[in-house]
Amino acid sequence: MKALLRQSAVLIALALLPAVVQALYLREKIPWQSRVAESDFVEVDTARGWAANVIWVDARPSEEFERDHIPGAVSLNEDRWVEGLSQFLGTQWSPEKKIVVYCSAASCNLAEDVARRLREEAKLPNDIRILKGGWEAWLAKK
């Protein structure tokens, strides 16, 4: 038992060393304070104010989109990313418009993932935001 605890402690301590080195090396690149910067979010009222200058992207599963969605929104989720993205770029996308991505509620992360992929993978130059509170917030302010 003593040997087991000693061995475990050594392994736990050994792993700390490279982790600290990696943390120091990546300290500028890691978002230490929050998962998503507050500036990446947009309130429902603000986004509505953008009127025709906004493209709504629904990141929820397709079945939820079919049930109901923000008028004019396009469905783009990670389940059918490649097909959905090419469809989106070929039809609704415009470089001048802002893009607002939403999912079901404040607790979901689908919008954040889709927004990140639009920035990093699709490399869209648009101002891409996440709707604060998601579809639930939209319904509450309907």
Partner 1 sequence: MKRVVAILIGGLFIYAGAVKIIDPVEFARDIDNYKMLPWQPSVWLALYLPWLEIFCGLALITRVFFRGGVFIVTALMSLFIIASIAAKTRGLDVSCGCFGHASKYLNFSWHLALDFLLLGGLLLLWKRPSPVA
Q: Which residues bind partner 1 (CB under 8 A)?
A: 3-12, 14-16, 18-19, 22-23, 26, 29-35, 107-109
CB 33 → partner 1: shortest distance, Å? 7
CB 12 → partner 1: shortest distance, Å? 7
- Using the minimum distance from each CB to partner 1, give the nearer residue, 30 or 139: 30
- Using the minimum distance from each CB to partner 1, give the nearer residue, 6 or 141: 6
Contacts of residue 126, defined as CB under 8 A and 6 or more positions apart, other chains included, come to 55, 95, 97, 98, 99, 118
Q: Residue 142's closest CA among 44, 42, 43?
A: 44
- Using the minimum distance from each CB to partner 1, give the nearer residue, 9 or 72: 9
CB 74 → partner 1: shortest distance, Å? 21
CB 36 → partner 1: shortest distance, Å? 9
